Amino acid sequence: MKPQRTGQHEREDDPLSPLAASFYARPSPVVARDLLGRLLVEERGPGRVVGRIVESEAYEEGDPASHSFRGPTPRNSVMFGAPGRMYVYFTYGMHHCMNVVTGSDGEGSAVLLRAVEPLEGIDVMCGRRGVAARPLLCSGPGRLCQAYGVGRADNGHDLLDSASGLFIAAGDPLSREHAAAGPRVGVREAAERPWRFFEEGSVYVSRRSPGRRRPGR
DNA sequence: TGATAGATCGGCT
DNA sequence: GCCGATCTATCAG
């Protein structure tokens, strides 16, 4: 049960208003951390799907782990384009990963969205994923794309346009004390650039098992 | 509960 | 030809 939004969604204080271009036009590690707590919204399918971003990773040009490291190619060209667009690629023969292009036009930097906490449209996500357990719906880049119905066709998608039905809304940014940083997943020499950002203690992030502590000890 | 291998294919060398 | 910003099933303990 939500109040109807009748053309008021451009208001700055509306948590469902899309983030502006200036938000993305900053260095990717800055954007990655600032994305925590924001809302990933999709309303192109059977119902509105909303999730709170709890995990992200930054990739910079000149970073050996980044697709943009060896310069522009047909595959990664979106990464070198204007900030605020989505870079979607296919990997491991079966998974998609979605990124948000950051920095300035011509620079190959982006932020990988790794996990969100499902808030709305749980049934839609379950249907797309084929699983029911909430922590398994969007905890990982491949799962996230599947839950949101995002694929190669969305490469280059404009996130600044909320009318497109897929965008990131302002939400409620995560406070500093609840945000943690660490080495990126699957990246060699990962410790040198601790550009994975996540919400401390969230059960909706990926890779939470090692060293997991239960409350009380 | 934690570690490991297999699936599967587009892009780059 | 090889490798990968992954996920899942399966096995061992």
Per-residue pLDDT of chain A (217 residues; tens, 9 = 90+): 444 444 444 445 677 899 999 999 999 999 999 999 999 999 998 899 999 999 999 999 988 889 999 899 988 999 999 999 999 999 988 999 999 999 999 999 999 999 999 999 999 999 999 888 999 999 999 999 999 999 989 999 999 999 999 999 999 999 999 999 998 898 877 677 899 999 998 999 997 644 333 332 2
Distance A212 CA to C13 C1' (A): 19
**C-alpha to C-alpha distance for A170 and A50, rounded to whole angstroms:** 12
Residues in A 77-116 whose C-beta is less than 7 A from nucleic strand C are 79, 87, 91-95, 97, 99, 110, 112
What is the phi/psi pair of residue A38, to 5°? Answer: -75, 170
Using the C1' atom of nucleotide B1, identify the protein residue whose alpha carbon is closest: A209
- Size of chain A, expressed as the number of residues it contains: 217
The reply to whether A215 Cβ lies less than 7 angstroms from strand B is no
Nucleotide nearest residue A145, measured CA to C1' = C6
Please answer whether residues A158 and A152 qualify as being in contact, where contact means their C-beta atoms are separated by less than 8 angstroms. Answer: no
Using the C1' atom of nucleotide C4, identify the protein residue whose alpha carbon is closest: A92
Distance A186 CA to C4 C1' (A): 9
Q: Tell which residue, A14, A184, A163, A38, has the closest CA to residue A100.
A: A38
Angle between the N-to-C axes of helices A122-129 and A141-148, in degrees from 0 to 180, rounded to the nearest 10: 110
pLDDT value for A2: 45
Q: Tell which residue, A100, A98, A53, has the closest CA to residue A204.
A: A53
Nearest 5°: CA angle at A149, between A145 and A151?
65
Using the C1' atom of nucleotide C5, identify the protein residue whose alpha carbon is closest: A186
The reply to whether A93 Cβ lies less than 7 angstroms from strand B is yes
pLDDT value for A63: 87
Question: Does this model's pTM top 0.75?
Answer: yes
**C-alpha to C-alpha distance for A175 and A200, rounded to whole angstroms:** 11
The reply to whether A3 Cβ lies less than 7 angstroms from strand B is no
Q: How many Cβ atoms are within 10 Å of A142's Cβ, its own excluded?
A: 16
Please answer whether residues A38 and A19 qualify as being in contact, where contact means their C-beta atoms are separated by less than 8 angstroms. Answer: yes
Distance A13 CA to C8 C1' (A): 42
**C-alpha to C-alpha distance for A79 and A126, rounded to whole angstroms:** 30
Distance A208 CA to C13 C1' (A): 21
